[in-house]
Amino acid sequence: MKPVSLPAVPALPANTKVAVLMGGTSSEREVSLMSGHGVLTALRSQGVDAHAFDPAQQTWSELRSLGYNRAFIALHGRHGEDGTVQGALELLGIPYTGSGVLSSALAMDKVMTKRIWQSAGLSTPASISLSPAQQSPENLAKIIPELGLPLIVKPPHEGSSIGVTKVEHAHQLDAAMALAIGLDPTLLAEAFIEGDEVTCPVLGQGAHVVALPVVRIAAPNGAYDYQNKYFTDEVKYHCPSGLSADLEAQIQQLVLESYQTLGCRGWGRADLMVRRSDQRAFLLEMNTSPGMTSHSLVPMSARAAGISYEALCMWLIQAAALDRSPA
């Protein structure tokens, strides 16, 4: 696999003090702490003045009072990658890693993400989304006839497969909906795509973006859930993916278009399904603050492209930016 050249970014100023934001209050706190400690160790190994900062235990005003002038966002889920933290950092004038306020908010909302991708002609599974006011018995009864079985039920504002259920039989639907609605009042049901699950990271902004190698995921019994993602070694990851060169290139191009359509910057990771019957790729979601744990896929893909974990962390903090330059 050929090495990937990263988009050019300026070097860190000599007086840079980095806050590695980790932990937080979302359901992905445990994963965030693992990501954050990995990033913190990597930045310090490169001579960066970096420190852990947990918004669940410290106030945002401390970022300024303690002299931080750059932030690495290793928060996941709500109040981490949904635009709220990004907005706080914009107000503080502290450049941060990853996408800006609007793109972060859009990508965190799977319903809005799908609408934008569909409007741009990008392939994503057929779906039904129902707000609380729309969850009438009549509308809920349409889910299986319109999407077929199996299907996927998920909360549209969670990550790490939290609250996601594969419904294979009609009698399983009520429990799946109850689980999802318990986490998010809006319900999202998607047609199930039979085939390979893959993921592809992106680095850069605007026209200066690069797709990293595709990772193909083989989970036991297809259960790529929260437990298998982070706490077992049962899942097999293939990078190189083993897909044909043409199909991998098609996936990378689709991912670049999906990233640019949402206006993302810095980095991201798109998750997709490749339908077995015709090898067509379908976009599932865009992660704008991907995991950086020992099981995470962006570092794995980067490594296959000749980019070490430490080099990736350094590039990301160097690429940190604001939506608008400080006045």
How many whole angstroms separate alpha carbon 30 and alpha carbon 32? 5
Let me know: does 142 contact 177? Beta carbons within 8 Å. Answer: no
pLDDT at 181: 95
Active site residues: 28, 160, 230, 269, 271, 285, 287, 291
Q: pLDDT above 90 covers what percent of the chain?
A: 86
pLDDT at 325: 65
Cα separations (Å) of 305 from 6, 212, 313? 10, 7, 15
Give the pLDDT mean for 119-132: 97
- Regarding pTM above 0.85, the answer is yes
Helix, strand, coil fractions of the chain, as percent rounded to 5: 35, 20, 45
Under the phi-then-psi rule, with left for phi > 0, alpha for psi from -120 to 50, and beta for the rest, what region is 314?
alpha
Q: Inform me whether the pLDDT recorded for 201 exceeds 70.
A: yes
The partner residues of 194 in beta bridges, in order of sequence, read: none
Least confident of 119-128, 245-254, 288-297: 288-297
**Average per-residue pLDDT for the chain:** 93
pLDDT at 326: 55
Q: Inform me whether the pLDDT recorded for 90 exceeds 80.
A: yes
pLDDT at 248: 98
How many whole angstroms separate alpha carbon 180 and alpha carbon 171? 16
Let me know: does 197 contact 161? Beta carbons within 8 Å. Answer: no
Which tens digit of pLDDT belongs to each residue from 5-32?
Answer: 899 999 999 999 999 999 999 888 999 9
How would residue 3 be classed by pLDDT, with cut points 50, 70 and 90? confident
Q: Which domains does the chain have, with CATH numbers?
A: 17-97 (3.40.50.20), 106-123+194-312 (3.30.470.20), 127-191 (3.30.1490.20)
Q: List the alpha helices (DSSP H) in the chain.
A: 29-45, 61-65, 84-92, 101-108, 110-119, 137-140, 143-147, 173-183, 226-230, 245-261, 297-304, 309-318
In three-state secondary structure terms, 303 is helix
Give the pLDDT mean for 51-63: 96
DSSP 121: T
How would residue 230 be classed by pLDDT, with cut points 50, 70 and 90? very low
Give the pLDDT mean for 73-80: 90
* Among 157, 146, 264, CA closest to 200: 264
